[in-house]
Amino acid sequence: MTELHQLPASIAAKKIQANELKSEDLIRSCIERIREREPITQAWVETNFDLAIQRAKYLDRSTNLGILHGIPFGAKDLFDTHDFPTRLGSAIYENNHPNSDATHIALMRQAGGVLLGKTVTTEFATFKGGKTTNPHNPEYTPGGSSSGSAAAVADDMIPLATGSQTAGSVIRPAAFCGVVGYKPTYGKVSLGGVKSLSPSLDTLGSFTRTVSDAALCVAAMSGDTQLATINKIKKKPRIATCLTYDGELASAETITAIHHAALLAEDIFKTKAPAIQLPTIFKDMSALQGRIMWSESARSFSFEQNNHSEQLSQQLKGLIKMGSAISYEQYSNDLIVAEKARATIDQLLTESWDILIAPSAIGEATKGLTQTGDPIFCRVWTLMGLPCITLPLYTGPNQLPVGVQLVAARGRDALLLSVADALMQA
């Protein structure tokens, strides 16, 4: 029997609206699950169960506030909250108590969502792993940087959690933990109240167990409430697989997953899903993404570097140094090349293809907690600002999840969700 904490948010929300379920009962079930599993999974930096129950009781008495009425969620501890500390995965911000909520959190609360707590992020959403373990096997990384959000949702602690991606920080942990990770089109969700890393790349997204919930979560985060309704597909989508120029890094399980996903899509949509390669301008795009990311991040960490250098990890200090060494001229040129590539992919993804099926990560989660894995298969899509979703469709040799990533043209989030939903249902 499905327990309350296992319910998808979209179903729970309907039940709450129909007076068939109390928010308080749903949230108590989630709390119980957290108490049971948190000693192993370690997904949370801070929770406030009393506050959540109090809020749930209020919502159970009040009229419907919006699409998340009574639904619990978690937020990455990189995002400002007025009632929880915001530590950004760094001792520098141990006592950081913002006076407001990040825009997307305020919008989720406005829609009736109940913030249960803050989830673990790696150090400033970069690469140094935190305490969180992979719910499928605690010896393996949950991925990062949105480690706690991915793990909490995978472990049925909460149905919805928010995260951010600058390279691969939504898609990779979602793939490693076996949940749906959705990074909408760049700019879709406000970055207000979010620690800035690389403003040209930073994008907020969701962790959920179903595609409907991904749609619901980002609908609330962005204020685009219509996105919550997944449309029926009217026209046969043109689907291709694409390993990018980094394809040789993909593990056998990832190659197999892409192959199976293509067959599945062909079967569902009665179409061919051929393998394509990106235009040659994309050859160096992953390296270019890295340079833009660290050139901008080096500037974004200027305050921490100049005032709290001793509390930054050696790893992050090395990356900041590397970023600082990139000339502004190189950075400007990289931005221009990226914009050209964006025009190219916009054309390719409107004129020739609707959806690309691509790897979410190199393979299964890697062993150990100090590193969170390689974001290589997300770099290009993040730089292009395209909407991406990873689906937990397969399992690898270590019995860990293997995700498959779907990518669409900028702004075509609704289509992406429709195709993703069809694949997940099948």
Closest distance of CB 317 from a second copy, Å: 15
Question: Which one of residues 44, 93, 207, 282 is an interface residue with a second copy (CB under 8 A)?
Answer: 93
Is 164 a known active-site residue? no
Residues 299-328 that bind a second copy (CB under 8 A): 299-300, 302-304, 306-307, 328
State how far the Cα of 413 lies from the Cα of 426, in Å rounded to an integer.
20
Which listed range, 20-28, 95-103, 126-134, 258-266, lies at the site for a second copy (CB under 8 A)?
95-103
Is 145 a known active-site residue? yes
The yes or no reply on residue 396 touching a second copy (CB under 8 A) is: no
CA distances from 147 to 214, 323, 414 (A): 17, 24, 26
Under 8 Å between Cβ of 274 and 240: yes
Which of the residues 10, 169, 286, 418 is marked catalytic?
169
Which of the residues 10, 23, 29, 145 is marked catalytic?
145
Widest CA span of the chain, in angstroms?
Answer: 60
Question: Which one of residues 20, 310, 329, 351 is an interface residue with a second copy (CB under 8 A)?
Answer: 329
Burial class for 305, CB neighbours closer than 10 Å (0-12, 13-18, 19+): middle
Residues 97-156 that bind a second copy (CB under 8 A): 98-101, 103, 106-107, 109-110
Helix (H, G, I), strand (E, B) or coil at 259: helix
Is 169 a known active-site residue? yes
Binding mask 225-254 for a second copy (x = CB under 8 A): xx----------------------------
Cβ closest to a second copy, residue 135 vs residue 193: 193
Beta bridge partners of residue 162, listed in sequence order: 75, 206
Residue with structure tokens 């992050």?
Answer: 316
Which listed range, 32-40, 46-54, 206-214, 292-300, lies at the site for a second copy (CB under 8 A)?
292-300
Question: Which one of residues 60, 156, 296, 354 is an interface residue with a second copy (CB under 8 A)?
Answer: 296
Read off φ and ψ for residue 110, nearest 5 degrees: -60, -35
Closest distance of CB 21 from a second copy, Å: 24
Cβ closest to a second copy, residue 70 vs residue 143: 70
Q: Is the peptide bond between 145 and the residue preceding it cis, with omega within 30 degrees of 0? A: yes
Under 8 Å between Cβ of 179 and 207: yes
Closest distance of CB 323 from a second copy, Å: 11
How many chain residues interact with a second copy (CB under 8 A)? 40
State how far the Cα of 153 lies from the Cα of 149, in Å rounded to an integer.
6
Measured in whole angstroms, how far is the alpha carbon of residue 256 from the centre of its chain?
23
Beta bridge partners of residue 207, listed in sequence order: 161, 181
Q: Dihedral of CA 34/12/83/143: which sign?
A: positive
Residue 280: other Cβ atoms inside 10 A? 9
Q: Which two tokens stand for residue 73?
A: 């969620």
Which active-site residues does the annotation give? 76, 145, 169
Task: Return residues touching a second copy (CB under 8 A).
Answer: 82, 92-93, 95-96, 98-101, 103, 106-107, 109-110, 187, 190-193, 195-196, 199-200, 223-226, 296, 299-300, 302-304, 306-307, 328-329, 332, 336, 411
